[in-house]
Every structure is written in C-alpha cells, then in structure tokens.
Structure 1
Amino acid sequence: MTSGDDEASTAMDHSVRSLLRHFATTTAGVRFTESPGHLFLATATDHLGPMHNSALRTDPTAGPEAVIGAAEEFFGRWNRRFVLWAGAHHDGDLAEAAARHGFALRDNSRGSAGMILRTPLRTAPDNGTALIPVRFRSQVETFTDIVADAFAARDHPQPAGATRSLFTPARTLLHPRVIAYLAVIDGVPCGAAMTHLNGPVATLAWIGTRPAYRHRGVASRLVTACVGESFRRGAQLVALQSSAEAEALYSRLGFQEITRYARWLSPAPANPHGSTD
C-alpha cells in the first residue's frame, strides 16, 4: 500500500468513526462506548445495520480476540447481536477471528465500498428538482420520512422504524456539523441526503429517493449539493459508504473506491438472560 493509499484509507476510517460518533451522541436511546482500540454503539432497536448495533476496531494493532471479547461483553448486556466492521485494508486478522468465533458475513461477501472524492462536482443538470436546506424540525420529519421509505425499498431493506429511530430527536440533523437537503419535484418532497463535517473530512450519508421518483437524477442533484457545500465549509475530501446498488452512481460522479468494509454478524449472545432495558 502506497503512502497515498494509506492517507486515503485513514480518511475513510476517520469518516466511519466520525459518523458513528455523531449518531451515538445525538440519537435518543443509544448506548455508546469508545476506548483506544474500539468503538461500540447499541441503538434503541435491535436492528442490525451499519448505524445500528455496530462494533468497530479503531486501532489496527488492537488484538482481534480482545476486540471481539469486549464487543460480546458490551452487547451481551442487552442480549444483542451486533455487526462487526472489518476493513479490507487492515482488518484481515479481525475477519479471520470473527469467522473462528462463528460470525457470518452480512449481506454479501464483498461488503460495502469505501469511496472518496477530492474535488467539488460540476453542477448537476437542472431537472426540475428544487433543493431545500434542512433547518427546521418539520423538515427533519420530512427528511426522516423520505429516507425511511427509500431504505425500506432497497435490495437489502432496512425497516422504516429502525431508520426513523436514528433521527430522533431533531438535533441529529439540526447540528452545526451537519449539512442536509431535501429534494422537491412539483411541490412534492422526494429525496434527501446529508453530510457530516469533521475537520478535513466530510461524510456523505443517508442519500435516499422515494421509489416513485427514482431514475430522474434526484440523487445526483442531492449529492452535488451536499458535496459543494461541504467543500465550501472547509472539507478537503468527501467520503461515503456505498451499497452495491449505488456504486455505479457514485463512480459516475467521480468517487473512487479506496477500500471495502465487510460486516460480520455475531452469533446469538451466550447469555440469553442479558438485560433488555
């Protein structure tokens, strides 16, 4: 791996950690802990997804057995299964340990693509989509409705209730480090996206279009707006995690794949009588 690759993968890891911390510290009902070697986040629901019930090794020198053991102890308090992230660039030993412990790959063996963009995008063609910054609580509710509908209709659907739980209370979006937009066509809110700013890295997330409005350039308009505002506010690059179905869109817009993150699903907790409060 070259120094440029090292820099890019470090930026990707920074992006992942920053976004998890943001939801951990702004979302209701989240239990969160972080040490020099790992970050664990248990959400209000038992859904298993990238932002729900996740375990992340934050130091590649931390022993994989120690990280897995600490995660099992943490999530076992609430009788929870969890998703263990493993980056292709430095978590090979963690993935091997997960397999030994009976973890199963989540969704697909390739994992999600970690992608970055280093320059602003050209303005997307005007397709009749109006873009509205999210600044009020009523707009947060609309944003949440849109992404809940969009993610429930994906190839690997996420329950609408699990998505909604991440945007309660409204400060998750009405935060000084968050840029969020709604897309509106003919007066109907149909798309949403956000970026989270943390130093030189902005993380693009929750890009969603209502199913009836897909393939009309809505996502491209939203991504272009979020990216442009992120660079205007000091970001030096924009990072994202892409599902398999969206990789072609982001590649076409100029994002480059840096690494991949496999997600390993833990076995059922060893303690079936853990706390559920």
Structure 2
Amino acid sequence: MIYRDRADRLVQTVLAANRSYLLGWNDGPATGDVYRSGLPHAPLNGVVRLAGRAPAEAYAQAGVLLDGVPRVWWVGADSDPGTAEALEALGARLVNRLPVMVAEVAAASVVPEPSGVSIEEARDIGEFVTAYAQVSGIPPEAAPRAAEREKTFGHAVLRLAARLDDGRIAGTAEAWFTDGLVTLYFVGTRPDHRRRGIGAALTQAVLRRAAVRGIPMAALTSTPIAVPVYERLGFHEISRYQLYAF
C-alpha cells in the first residue's frame, strides 16, 4: 500500500508538470485547463485534463476556445474517471496512446556519445525552434511565433542542441524544470541523422544537467516507437495518456 501511494503521487507529480508546461504555451488570458498557442500544431493547443466538470459543458467550451486551430485533449490519470468514454460519446476521436515514463537521474544508464556531434546549450531560441520545427511538424512559417512563445518560459527551460561539425543542428531536447523534477519535450533528430544515438545522447545530457541541479527524477511522454530508446537509459512506464482529436 505504501509503495502504491508513492507511485500514485509520482504519477500525479509528473502529470502536473506536464500540465504546467503545456499551459505555458497559452497565448492570452488563463482559461483553466485549456491552452491555446494559436500555432498550427495540435499538441500546442488543447485541454490538459477534465476534472470536476460535466464533460458536455467542458467539451462545448473547449470547442469555442480552440476554434480554428488543430488541438488535442489529454486524458490521463489526472482526469475524472470515465473521461475517455464521455469524449468519445461527444464525438472525439482517439488518435494516440502515449506512455508516460520516468527515470531516477542518479541511476540512469550511460549511452555512448555519437561521433561528429557536440551537445551544447542552445543560445539562439529562433535557431533552436526552427530545428525542432523541422522534425515535429510545425510549419516553417510558424517557427518565429513559436520562438516568441518559447521566450516566455524564462529560466524554467533548458534547451540543448546536438550540433554537427559544420554547425548545423541535427537534434534537439527541451527540459522543463518544475515540481522538483525535469520533464523532456521536443526530443527529436533530423531524418538524415537518425539511428546514430543522437536522441539518446541528448536525453542523457539533460539527465546529467539535472543531476548537477540536484533534481532526482526525470519524466517524459514518449511515442510508442521511442520507448526502447528511453528504456535503455533507465526510463520505465508509470502511466499512459490517451490523446483525442475533437
């Protein structure tokens, strides 16, 4: 029972951190658990949970607030029971199931550094966002606006770039420090440089910097295909999100 309580608390802490990051993309007055960046990229507009409200009411409000932009609804362990079924009944469509994974920073495995790549902190936010936009599906014309939103995060965010010998950025990782842990976002590698271990090396670099800051736990929401990469680093699944389009 004690172990289960600790596990439940960890899940809630991780999901709270994810909510905090996503709500940071909201470009305008706060609207509860709805965030709207206005960018043409579904994960950057949406609802982070449904808690304490009638599904039909919340669904109708979200539709108005997010009208005109691609959006998703995150259904996780922090949402009211029955949320997924209620959304489906209202017309939402399940588009993905995403594992939520954590690792103890001090116990993380060590992976080899890829040759011809140096990992460094990104100082030019515009260049960094342009790089992750290329692999995350954000249209090039939207990158400047995304960079402006990124600037509002301040020192809560660490941005790492995997830079090639010729200066180009081959991969990115963004680290969000809150709630006593670090969560990772925009971990991606350009298609022509994949399968070189760049994503794993970027994740490892985040963990090392977290250790310096005294952060004991790291978390991320993985795509199913990337799970083996994170498992090699010591991450394991503790929960799962269902993502709905609506």
TM-score when normalising by structure 2: 0.86
Give the structure 2 partner of residue 246 of structure 1. Answer: 226
**Higher normalized helix content (fraction of residues):** 2
Give the structure 2 partner of residue 270 of structure 1. Answer: none
Which runs of no fewer than 5 residues in structure 2 stay unpaired? none
SS at match of 1:234: coil
Q: Which amino acid aligns with 2:30?
A: T
Q: Within 2, Cα distance between the matches of 1:65 and 1:170? A: 32
SS at match of 1:69: helix
Number of residues paired by the alignment? 241
Q: Which amino acid aligns with 1:140?
A: I
Give the structure 1 partner of residue 122 of structure 2. Answer: 134
User: Percent same amino acid at aligned positions?
Assistant: 25
Give the structure 1 partner of residue 58 of structure 2. Answer: 67
Q: Is residue 49–residue 74 contact of structure 2 (8 Å, CA) maintained in 1?
A: yes
SS at match of 2:34: strand
Give the structure 2 partner of residue 182 of structure 1. Answer: 161
How far residue 229 of structure 1 moved from its aligned partner, in angstroms, is: 1.0
Q: Which amino acid aligns with 1:118?
A: E
Give the structure 1 partner of residue 171 of structure 2. Answer: 191
Which aligned runs of 4 or more in structure 1 are off by greater than 3 angstroms?
78-82, 88-92, 158-165
Q: 2:131 aligns with which of 135, 143, 146?
A: 146
Q: 1:172–1:208: structure 2 CA closer, same or farther, 3 Å change rule? A: farther
Give the structure 2 partner of residue 117 of structure 1. Answer: 103
Q: Within 1, Cα distance between the matches of 2:70 and 2:148? A: 22
> Within 5 Å, which residues of 2 pair with 1:55-94?
55-57=47-49, 59=51, 61-75=52-66, 78-80=67-69, 82-87=71-76, 90-94=79-83
Q: 1:204 aligns with which of 169, 184, 191?
A: 184
Give the structure 1 partner of residue 34 of structure 2. Answer: 40
Q: Which amino acid aligns with 2:127?
A: T
How far residue 170 of structure 1 moved from its aligned partner, in angstroms, is: 5.4
Q: Is residue 54–residue 83 contact of structure 1 (8 Å, CA) maintained in 2?
A: yes
- The reply to whether residue 21 of structure 1 matches residue 23 of structure 2 is yes
SS at match of 1:168: helix
How far residue 19 of structure 1 moved from its aligned partner, in angstroms, is: 1.0
RMSD: 2.4
How far residue 50 of structure 1 moved from its aligned partner, in angstroms, is: 2.0
Q: Which amino acid aligns with 2:22?
A: L
Q: Within 1, Cα distance between the matches of 2:7 and 2:53? A: 21
Q: 1:124–1:164: structure 2 CA closer, same or farther, 3 Å change rule? A: farther
Q: Within 1, Cα distance between the matches of 2:144 and 2:242? A: 24
SS at match of 2:148: coil
Q: Is residue 74–residue 241 contact of structure 2 (8 Å, CA) maintained in 1?
A: yes
Q: Within 1, Cα distance between the matches of 2:214 and 2:59? A: 36
Residues 171-200 of structure 1: CA distance to partner in whole angstroms, max 9, x if unpaired?
156x21111111123233211111011130
Q: Within 1, Cα distance between the matches of 2:203 and 2:9? A: 23
Q: Is residue 49–residue 78 contact of structure 2 (8 Å, CA) maintained in 1?
A: no
Q: 1:169–1:265: structure 2 CA closer, same or farther, 3 Å change rule? A: closer
Q: Which amino acid aligns with 1:124?
A: V
Q: Is residue 116–residue 240 contact of structure 1 (8 Å, CA) maintained in 2?
A: yes
Q: Is residue 17–residue 179 contact of structure 2 (8 Å, CA) maintained in 1?
A: no
How far residue 91 of structure 1 moved from its aligned partner, in angstroms, is: 4.2
How far residue 239 of structure 1 moved from its aligned partner, in angstroms, is: 1.2
How far residue 142 of structure 1 moved from its aligned partner, in angstroms, is: 2.4
SS at match of 1:57: coil
Q: 1:11 aligns with which of 7, 10, 13?
A: 13
- The reply to whether residue 216 of structure 1 matches residue 213 of structure 2 is no
Residues 41-96 of structure 1: CA distance to partner in whole angstroms, max 9, x if unpaired?
1222344x222x2112264x444334323323433xx4456321111575441111
SS at match of 1:144: helix
